[in-house]
Amino acid sequence: MNAKFATISACFAMLLLSNCATKRNTLATRWWQSFHTKYNVYYNASVAYIDASLEKENGNHDHFTEQLPLYTIGNKESRAIGQANYDLAIAKCEKAIRLHSIKRHPVWDKNRRKTPEDIEWLNRREYNPTMWKVWLLMGRAQFFKGDFENAISTFAYMSRLYATQPAIYQRAQAWLAKSYIEAGWRYDAEEVLRNMARDSMHWQAQKEWDYTYADYYLHTGDTQQAIVYLQRVIQHEMRRKQKAREWFLLGQLLTQQKQPAQAYEAFKKVIALNPSYELSFHARIAMTEVMAPGNQQKMIAKLHRMARNENNQAYLDQVFYALGNIYLAQRDTLRAIEAYEQDNERATRQGIEKGVLLLKLGNLYWDKERFGDAKRCYDQAIGLLDRDRKDYDRLALRQQQLERLVPFTDEVALQDSLQRLSKMSDAQRNAIIKRMIAALKQKERRATQPQNDNTATDFAQPMPTPGAGSNTWYFYNPVLVARGIEQFQRTWGHRKNEDNWQRENKTVVNMDDIVAVPNDTLNDKTEKDIVQQHQAPDSLDNDPHQPAYYLKQIPHTPAQLQASKEKLSQALFHSGLLFNDLLDRPDLSQRYLLRLLHEFPSFAQRDEVYHRLYLIYMRQQQPSLAQHYLQRLEQEYPQSETARQLRSPHYAEDARRGEQIEDSLYTAAYEAFKHDDEQRVDQLFETAQKRFPKGNNHDKFLMISALNQLHQGHLSTALQRLNTLLSAHPNSPLITMAGMIINGIQAGKTPHNDRFDLENVWQRRSEVLNDSDALHQVKFSNERQTPFLYVMVYAPDAVNENQLLFELAKYNFTNYLVRNFDIKIERREGVHQMAVGGFQNYDEALQYARAVHQQAAIQSLSKQARSVIISQENEALIGHPFSYRDYEKFYQQHFAPLKISTLQLLTEPVKTVTKQPEKPTTAEDIDRELDRIIKEDGSEYPIDSTDWNIKRTKTAQKVDAKTSKKAKPEKPKPPVKTVKPLDLDDEYYDLEGF
C-alpha cells in the first residue's frame, strides 16, 4: 500500500513539475525538460529525419558524366525526395522548441563568487541541454529539403543563441556556410569562412568544417584544395553509399588534376565498397579512361567486353561514350566521332548524360567545320541540358548562329554533290546510289532493333526516365522538353524558331493589295499540290529507298544544271557573309567568297563580294590585297551603291562609328519630331537615307518620316514610306503600327495632326460633374495636418522619366536617412505623374518641395513638368470632378498664405507606437483582481459570503455618496497602456522571431 502511494505521489509530483518546468530554471526542471525532449519529441523528429534521408539516398540519381555534387541536394531532381518526412521532422522540432525551451535565467546565490565558467553559464540564452540538438536537426532537415533560406535563418539564429558555447556555435556556423554555398550566396559564405579562419577550431566541430570547406572548394572550382578536404570527408563518412559517391567524386577530381594513377585507385575503392550496380558500372568505365597510356588497347577491349554483357544493355551509351573519350585522348578524332555517333544511336535514356554526349559531339563537329552535323547535335542537346550549366550560354548562342548559317552551308554541300554525280558515268552513279540506300537501310535497322527487343518490356512496365518525374516547370525539365521537341518535329517537321511560324503573312496588312496574284495561278498551284500529295505515297520518286528518288535530284539538262549553279552561288554568297558577320570567322568567309568569284564570274552581286573582301583584308592587316579588290570594285562597278559608299568622305568614319552616328541621328530626329520641327525631321531622314540605307534604325526612320508626312498632310508620301517599311523590314516590331495606319487610311479615315498640349489636360475635369451644381456638392479640403504628396505632372516623353526617378530616389536616400518616402508613377488622363508620399502634413511636403527645387540635376530633368503639393484626400478629386487648374486656385487661396514651421521636420523619424498584444485573461489574473478588491475594502484574508456582501454594500454606498457631492462628473480617463521597449535580447522577441 505504501509503495503504491509512493508511486502515485511520484507521478503526481512529476506532472506538477512538467507544468511549471519551463517557468523555473532549476536542476530538476532542466533534467526533466531535457529528458522529455530527448526521448519524446526529439526522438520522433530524428526518426522522421532518418526516414527522409534514407528515401533521398535510395531515390537519388547522379549524372556520372559530370562532376558529382558532395551532397545529393546538389541534384535538382532529388530535392523533392523525402520532403514529407523532412516536414514532419521540422514540425516536431518546432514543437520541442515551443514546449521545452528554458530561457529563464537560474537563481544565483549572491554570496557565492562567480568564476568565468559561471559567468558564461549565466549569460546563456537557452538552458535545456538537449535543445541545441533540436535546433541543429531542424536546420539540417531544412537544408536537405532544399529550403536553404529557412535553413540560413535557423542556423543564423542558432549561432546567436549559442554564441557562448564554442563547440555548438562552430557547428552552427559550419552549417550556415554550407547553406549559403548551396543557395548560391557565395559572398555571405566567404564572410562566414573568413570569420571562422580568425578563430581556433574546436575539435568537436572539425568534422562539420571539413565538409564545409570541401563543398566550398568544389563550388569555387579549386580542385587542389577540394581534394585535400574531400579526403578528410571520406575519413569522417559513416554511410557506405555516401562514401562510395565521395570516392567517385575524388576520382573525378584527380582525373582533372592529371593524376591518373591516384584516380584509378579512387575508382577501385568505389567498387570495393560494393555500391549500387549503376555506380559500380560507371566506376569501371572511369577506370578504363584513366589507365596508363600503354594499356590503351587493353582498355578498348575491356569496354567492348562490357558492351557485350547483357547486364550493361541499359548503359551501352556510357560504354561508347567512354570509347569515344579514349579515342579522343589518343587524338583519333574520326574514331571518337564514330564512337559518339554509335552512343547517340544506341542511347535509350533521354537525360543529361545524352545531352553531355551530344554537346561534346557537336563541339567536335564545330571544330571540324561540319556545321550541319554540329547543328543536329546542338538542337538535341539544348533540350536535355540544364540552364545552370556554365557552357549553356555558349551552346545556346551557337545553336542560334547555326540556325541561320546551316541552311546555306547544307545547300552548298548538296549542290556540290549533285553536280559531282551529274559528271559521273551511269555505272559510277548507280554504285554510289546503291551504297547510300544500303547505308540508309542499315541505319533504320539499327534504330528499330532496340525498339523491337524492348517492345514487351516497354508495354509491360515502362522504364522510368531520369528527370521525367521532376516537379520543375515544363520548360525547365530537359527530358520533357526533348520529348516535346521530338513530338513537334514528327507533326510539323523542322521549323524555324520564330514567332507566328505557322503564318505565311506575318503582317496586319493584306499583301495581296500590294502585289496582286491572279486567282487562276493560285488555283492551279493548289490543284498541283493536292495531286502531288495524293501521288506521293505511291510514287517511286518520293521513296528514299529507291534509286529514282536520288536520280530525280541530279541535274541532267543544261537548264537544271544552271538552276543548280544559281542555288550554289547564292548559298556561297550568304554563307560567306554569315561566317564573317555572325560567327566572326573571316578565314571561312574569305574562302567562300573567293570561290564564288572564281567559279561564278557573272554573279549579280560581285560588287558586294568585292566590298566584303576589301573589309576582310583591311581587318587582317593586308592593305595591298584590300586595295586590289577596291580597285576592281571601282573599275567594274563605278555606279554601284557600294562604290558610292566607298567614295563617300564619311566612309572611314561610318565604318568605325557608324552605329553610334546613326543612333545620334535618330535621337535628333525623334526630338525634332516631338518639338514639331518638321523641316529638321525631313533633313535628318534624308541624311540617314544617304549614309545608312541599311542601318539598324532604318525602320524607325521610315516610321518617323511617315508620321511627319502625315502631320503635313502628304498622304501619298506617308503611304509609300510605310509600305517600304513593311516590305524592307518584315520582322520589325513597327510593322503592326504601320499596318494599322495603312488600313485606316485605305478605309477612308482621316488622320489628325493634333499635338499634345499639357495645358488642356491641366484644365480637364470629368464631364459628368462639369456643371456648377455638381461642383458645389464636393469640395477640396483645407486640412493641414493630414498626409500630403509632392507631385510632378508632365506629358509623356516630355521628360526622361527613368533618369528623373533615379535622381529623385538618390536624393531621398542620401538626404533623408530617417524617413522612407515612397515614389509612385501613374498614368492619368493623358499625362504621367510622379508622386512622392510619406509626408505627415503640409509643412513637411512644402519643406521637401523647396529642397528639391534647389537640386540642379532634378530641376534640369523636370523643366517640362509642373509641381503640385496636394493632400491625399484632395488628390483623389483631381479629374473627378476637379481639374489641376481648380486645385491651383484653391491652393493659392488656402495654402499659399500659410506660414510653415521653421524646424527641420524631415530630419526627425516618424513616431510610431507599438501596441502590445493583449494577453488572454487567466485564472491567476482573476485571483489577483479579487485580492486587489479585497485589499481596497480593508480585508487581507478571505471572509465568508455574508460579510463579503455587507462590506460590498457599504463600499458601494460610500462611493455613491462621494460622487453625489460633485457638481460636474469627470469623464473617465482612458487607461494608459505602457509600450514595451524594443529589446532584441529579450526572451519575448527571441521566441517571436523564431
- At 218-242, the pLDDT tens digits run 999 899 999 999 999 999 999 899 9
Q: Which of 163-167, 275-279, 457-461, 892-896 has the lowest mean pLDDT?
A: 457-461
- Which pLDDT does position 461 carry in this prediction? 38
Mean pLDDT of 18-36: 72
Q: Containing H/E element for 825? A: strand 822-828
Q: Residue 991 — very low, low, confident or very high, per pLDDT cuts 50/70/90?
A: very low
Dihedral in degrees, nearest 10, Cα atoms 423, 428, 433, 435: -140
Q: Residue 85 — very low, low, confident or very high, per pLDDT cuts 50/70/90?
A: very high
Q: Residue 175 — very low, low, confident or very high, per pLDDT cuts 50/70/90?
A: very high
Which of the pair, 9 or 835, is modelled with greater confidence? Answer: 835
Domains 27-241 and 558-647 share a fold: yes
- At 152-172, the pLDDT tens digits run 999 999 999 898 889 999 999
- Which pLDDT does position 768 carry in this prediction? 42
Q: Does residue 505 surpass a pLDDT of 80?
A: no
- Which pLDDT does position 156 carry in this prediction? 92
Region of 78 on the Ramachandran plot (φ > 0 left; ψ -120 to 50 alpha; else beta): alpha
Gap between the Cα atoms of 843 and 901, Å rounded = 6
Mean pLDDT of 416-445: 85
Which of the pair, 10 or 777, is modelled with greater confidence? Answer: 777
- Which pLDDT does position 994 carry in this prediction? 28
Q: Check if the beta carbon of residue 548 is closer than 8 Å to that of residue 540.
A: yes
Q: Check if the beta carbon of residue 781 is closer than 8 Å to that of residue 872.
A: no
Mean of per-residue pLDDT scores for the chain? 78
Q: Which CATH class for the 558-647 domain?
A: mainly alpha
Report phi then psi at 332, rounded to 5: -100, 85
Give the three cell numbers for residue 92: 516536431
- Which pLDDT does position 545 carry in this prediction? 80
Mean pLDDT of 920-949: 50
Gap between the Cα atoms of 793 and 867, Å rounded = 6
- At 438-455, the pLDDT tens digits run 888 887 776 666 555 544
pLDDT above 70 covers a percentage of the chain that reads 75
Give the three cell numbers for residue 248: 567517385
In whole angstroms, how far apart are CA 187 and each of 179, 180, 231, 542?
12, 8, 26, 62
**Cross-sheet strand order for the sheet of 822-828:** 822-828, 831-839, 788-794, 866-871
Q: Check if the beta carbon of residue 592 is closer than 8 Å to that of residue 579.
A: yes
Q: Does residue 372 surpass a pLDDT of 60?
A: yes
**CATH 1.25.40.10 applies to domain 652-746:** yes
Report phi then psi at 793, rounded to 5: -110, 135
Q: Residue 871 — very low, low, confident or very high, per pLDDT cuts 50/70/90?
A: very high
- Which pLDDT does position 61 carry in this prediction? 85
Q: Does residue 103 surpass a pLDDT of 70?
A: yes
- Which pLDDT does position 733 carry in this prediction? 84
- CB contact set of 340 (below 8 Å; sequence gap of 6+): 320, 321, 324, 357, 360, 361, 364
> Three-state SS string across 758-810, please?
HHHHHCCCCCCCCCHHHHHHCCCCCCCCCCEEEEEEECCCCCCHHHHHHHHHH
Is residue 978 packed enough to be buried (19+ CB in 10 Å), middle (13-18) or exposed (0-12)? Answer: exposed
Q: Does residue 495 surpass a pLDDT of 70?
A: no
| Number of Cβ atoms within 10 Å of the Cβ of 885 | 13
- Which pLDDT does position 223 carry in this prediction? 92
In whole angstroms, how far apart are CA 689 and each of 585, 660, 693?
30, 16, 5
- Tell which residue, 312, 340, 309, has the closest CA to residue 325: 340
Q: Does residue 212 surpass a pLDDT of 60?
A: yes
Gap between the Cα atoms of 211 and 144, Å rounded = 14
CA 43 to chain centroid: 40
Q: Which of 229-238, 462-471, 921-930, 931-940 has the lowest mean pLDDT?
A: 462-471
Q: Which of 65-74, 94-103, 559-568, 826-835 has the lowest mean pLDDT?
A: 826-835
Pairing of strands 866-871, 788-794: antiparallel
Q: Is the peptide bond before 881 cis (omega within 30 degrees of 0)?
A: yes
Cα angle vertex 241, ends 356, 275, to 5°?
75
Q: Check if the beta carbon of residue 597 is closer than 8 Å to that of residue 609.
A: yes
- Tell which residue, 694, 705, 692, 783, has the closest CA to residue 738: 705
| Number of Cβ atoms within 10 Å of the Cβ of 562 | 11
In whole angstroms, how far apart are CA 4 and each of 17, 165, 484?
20, 44, 74
Gap between the Cα atoms of 657 and 533, Å rounded = 53
Q: Which of 304-308, 426-430, 761-765, 793-797 has the lowest mean pLDDT?
A: 761-765
- CB contact set of 31 (below 8 Å; sequence gap of 6+): none
Q: Does residue 629 surpass a pLDDT of 50?
A: yes
Q: Does residue 123 surpass a pLDDT of 60?
A: yes
Mean pLDDT of 807-826: 84
Q: Does residue 143 surpass a pLDDT of 90?
A: yes
Q: Which of 127-141, 359-373, 407-421, 915-929 has the lowest mean pLDDT?
A: 915-929
Q: Check if the beta carbon of residue 125 is closer than 8 Å to that of residue 85.
A: no
- Which pLDDT does position 437 carry in this prediction? 86
Q: Check if the beta carbon of residue 135 is closer than 8 Å to that of residue 971.
A: no
Q: What is the CATH code of the structural domain delimited by 27-241?
A: 1.25.40
Q: Check if the beta carbon of residue 368 is closer than 8 Å to that of residue 549.
A: no
CA 399 to chain centroid: 20
- pTM attached to this predicted model: 0.57
Gap between the Cα atoms of 397 and 584, Å rounded = 13
Gap between the Cα atoms of 831 and 756, Å rounded = 10
Q: Check if the beta carbon of residue 858 is closer than 8 Å to that of residue 807.
A: yes
Q: Which of 19-28, 475-484, 608-617 has the lowest mean pLDDT?
A: 475-484
Q: Residue 93 — very low, low, confident or very high, per pLDDT cuts 50/70/90?
A: very high
Q: Does residue 939 surpass a pLDDT of 60?
A: no
Q: Does residue 596 surpass a pLDDT of 60?
A: yes
Q: Does residue 774 surpass a pLDDT of 80?
A: no
Q: Residue 433 — very low, low, confident or very high, per pLDDT cuts 50/70/90?
A: confident
- CB contact set of 663 (below 8 Å; sequence gap of 6+): 697
Q: Residue 947 — very low, low, confident or very high, per pLDDT cuts 50/70/90?
A: very low
Q: Does residue 769 surpass a pLDDT of 80?
A: no
- Tell which residue, 388, 315, 399, 305, has the closest CA to residue 358: 399
Pairing of strands 866-871, 822-828: unpaired
Gap between the Cα atoms of 347 and 465, Å rounded = 12
Q: Does residue 534 surpass a pLDDT of 70?
A: no
Q: Does residue 963 surpass a pLDDT of 70?
A: no
The domain spans of the chain are 27-241, 349-449+467-492, 511-551, 558-647, 652-746, 758-907
